[in-house]
Structure 1
């Protein structure tokens, strides 16, 4: 099991940009990849996850599989990120063991339930309006404070995140951010550097319990 969690910056990717874009993002310093693909057949998900696992190993970064704990285990991913309608955390643990298990949350109650069930971190949002993450109305920065006060595990802000908004999110208690479209432009390396500069106050990562 990995013992240090890179909470600062997660790149959410459906791998639509292929290996070239993923390598460019990783070369710029992204420490954590989540493969999130809601439409492809499971065989394709597995094959792409194998590719992503190989690439992330070359760069020495974390790879978390979205939704599918069995695929995460099959490709030896570093963990799985669950949704509220996916396997319960306890069931996912039977598949992934001591690997990282995160879960998306949208309220303090869901965050508390996730922590009580043994999640290693939570994603919380959407903080701002976004077309990428369909999870209801934006929560706003103040909601991060409420969640941070309620749980002791890392809280990753998601939804409409820009580099300029990162300092406020960190000040509110977020451990880091997860972004998708913000790193999908014509110059992903410059975008990554912009985010990492904005997140530099977050340190090197948060230890997992």
Structure 2
């Protein structure tokens, strides 16, 4: 990974919005458009959980959301589904420790952005060895957005990774909102990733603007 690529990814990670149809009170396309107007810098399509779309319905929603991102110049990342990411020529893919192995994903995805969730230094080092461009760390705070969320790790996981020589871009996730987002950046993260703080907001644009102000 070149320094230029790393710098570019650090910029993308600043305000990282994750969403699928199950996270929204309103039409996902409208929610994404409002979030982009509010200042998000990266979008991840994560269609998981009870009532999630499958098959052609999932693909159609992904295509609609990708079109919105493309028109706005926002990178479009697919969660977990490497086949869909390759088929759509998405900008990147993000995988967790329970998903596909990062080295396999890197092989399939070529030079797409690759994000990997990590919960320990060992996992982080393996992810970097396998070609990860950035690490997702969390949950930093308690979260209700993921059914499979792990125990809260707190800000200390970010601080610990930085103290132990992990230099690639890091994004914090889990329970982050406008009130605590700045703390995540100060701990050493390059950005914050959010689901419900934006997707479930009554005013998505305003919520995104408040988050952007909090981290800048």
TM-score normalized by the length of structure 1:
0.90
- For the pair 1:113 / 2:100, whether they are aligned, the reply is no
Counterpart secondary structure, 2:210: helix
Contact 1:106 1:126 in 2 (8 A): no
- For the pair 1:147 / 2:161, whether they are aligned, the reply is yes
Contact 1:12 1:33 in 2 (8 A): yes
TM-score normalized by the length of structure 2:
0.87
Counterpart secondary structure, 1:129: coil
Equivalent residue number for residue 193 of structure 2: 178
What is the CA RMSD across the aligned residues, in angstroms?
A: 1.7
2:137 paired residue among 120, 124, 133: 124
Deviations 1:13-58 (A, max 9, x none): 0034321111111122211100111233133222221111111011
Aligned partners of 2:124 and 2:111: how far apart in 1? 20
Equivalent residue number for residue 31 of structure 1: 41
Contact 1:162 1:182 in 2 (8 A): yes
Q: Structure 1 stretch 127-136 or stretch 70-79: which is displaced more?
A: 127-136
Equivalent residue number for residue 8 of structure 1: 14
Contact 2:46 2:78 in 1 (8 A): yes
Number of residue pairs the alignment of both structures matches: 200
Aligned partners of 2:96 and 2:55: how far apart in 1? 17
Structure 1 runs, 4 residues or longer, greater than 6 Å off:
none
Aligned partners of 2:57 and 2:87: how far apart in 1? 14
Deviations 1:157-203 (A, max 9, x none): 00000112122111110111100110121111111111111111xxx
Structure 1: runs of 5+ lacking an equivalent: 201-209
Q: 1:63 to 1:93 in 2, by over 3 A?
A: same
Q: Structure 1 stretch 172-181 or stretch 159-168: which is displaced more?
A: 159-168
Equivalent residue number for residue 165 of structure 1: 180
Structure 2: runs of 5+ lacking an equivalent: none
Aligned partners of 1:107 and 1:90: how far apart in 2? 18
Equivalent residue number for residue 114 of structure 2: 101
2:207 paired residue among 191, 194, 208: 191
Aligned partners of 2:61 and 2:46: how far apart in 1? 11
Aligned partners of 2:79 and 2:163: how far apart in 1? 26
Equivalent residue number for residue 20 of structure 1: 30
Q: 1:148 to 1:42 in 2, by over 3 A?
A: farther
Alpha-carbon deviation of 1:107? Answer: 2.1
